[in-house]
Structure 1
Amino acid sequence: MKRAVHALSRMLRGIEDTLLAVLLAVMVILAVGQIVQRNLFDSGFVWTDELLRILVLWLTVIGALVASRTDQHIRMDVLVRFVPSALQGPLRRVVFVATAVVCGVLAWHSYQFVRIEAEYGSVLLGGYPSWWFQCVIPIGFALICWRYLALAIYPPPQQQETSEAV
């Protein structure tokens, strides 16, 4: 079971990294192209701004997924820092499960949102169904949920916390 989880994690890691790089490159090219068109030619594509907003959504969700792969996402684990080291491991697992539950709930509700968008027939980019672009939200939260469940079962080695003030 552990080997299958690691194989799936490796595959997902490669897909995530590739998607992030491609999305960021496309966003930079589109944004710079739009600026050049507006400033030099007094024109631009009507759909560029809407597409850039969609790409920001995708980049954000995939970035959150990448951050969760090594538990580098935003954490609410103040209590873990103040308990004895013997209790930190089990308490971290509880935090991972709680995070998975929250992401699972968010996945479910964002799925409901996307389903309603599909029922109402909302469109983006001049006629494409909006749910095509919004489906990244429930999928992303479901994958983060899965990842935190995996972290609860196979937690990463405990990281050294720095006490330096920023």
Structure 2
Amino acid sequence: MTLRHIARGADRILSALEAVLLIALLVLSVAVLIADIALRVFANVALPWAAEATRYAIVWMVFIGGSPAARKGAHISIDALTETLPARHGLRLVRATLLASAAGCAVLAWYGWQLVRQMMMFHQRSPSLEWPMWMVYLALPIGFALMALRFAQVAASPPSAADRAALMS
């Protein structure tokens, strides 16, 4: 088995895991909000933890969702310079930008982990759910580490057929 096959398998597993987590968090958020609204309307009862649980689920969705966005090239970018450069130089600039993004995300993952460690020492808990706050902050290092991995993965991937065609012209 070659390194390329292992990388493809790992990519498929990670992509599936990201998708499952994002779908589960979205379903959980919607279900909690619908239950809270229904209970308010029909039973005159509110779930005091519903807004907090939904907020934390959305935070996790944002940070986990950055990874598939990085893999698909869906993050905001300005391509005016790469469009004006010859294809070979434009491709090099894109790869350099992707590697810089990977490095930036890796640094943010490291600082995010430092924040999580600090939150563990403080033993702070969330107001309604009384969860350890480090669990909420853990979204930062995990999300940024995943984005760093995905940016590096795209930078290291072979040029697409369209890229190869542009390089030939």
Global fold match (TM > 0.5): yes
The answer for the alignment partner of 1:27 in structure 2 is 29
Cα gap change, 1:159 to 1:17, in 2 (>3 Å): farther
Q: How does 1:46-85 map to 2 (within 5 A)?
A: 46-85=48-87
Cα gap change, 1:28 to 1:144, in 2 (>3 Å): same
| Residues 31-55 of structure 1 deviation map (CA, whole Å, 9 limit, x = unaligned) | 1111111222221111111101100
| Residues 68-112 of structure 1 deviation map (CA, whole Å, 9 limit, x = unaligned) | 122222224432122111212111110110110111111111111
CA distance in 1, matches of 2:124, 2:84: 49
* 1:158 CA drift (Å): 7.2
- Matched letter for residue 146 of structure 1: L
- Matched letter for residue 19 of structure 2: D
CA distance in 1, matches of 2:79, 2:7: 25
Cα gap change, 1:133 to 1:95, in 2 (>3 Å): same
* 1:9 CA drift (Å): 0.8
**3-state SS of the aligned residue for 1:46?**
coil
CA distance in 1, matches of 2:25, 2:136: 13
Identify which of 124, 131, 153 aligns with 2:134: 131
Cα gap change, 1:38 to 1:77, in 2 (>3 Å): same
- Matched letter for residue 109 of structure 1: Y
CA distance in 2, matches of 1:146, 1:80: 23
Cα gap change, 1:108 to 1:34, in 2 (>3 Å): same
CA distance in 1, matches of 2:42, 2:153: 51
RMSD (Å) for aligned C-alpha atoms? 1.8
Give the TM-score normalised by structure 2: 0.86
The answer for the alignment partner of 1:164 in structure 2 is none
The answer for the alignment partner of 1:143 in structure 2 is 146
Q: Give % identity.
A: 29
Mind listing any 5+ residue stretches in structure 2 that lack a counterpart?
Answer: 164-169
- Greater shift, 38-47 or 139-148, is seen at 38-47
* 1:159 CA drift (Å): 6.7
Do the aligned partners of 1:70 and 1:156 also contact (CA within 8 Å) in 2?
A: no
* 1:26 CA drift (Å): 1.2
- Matched letter for residue 119 of structure 1: M
- Matched letter for residue 115 of structure 2: F
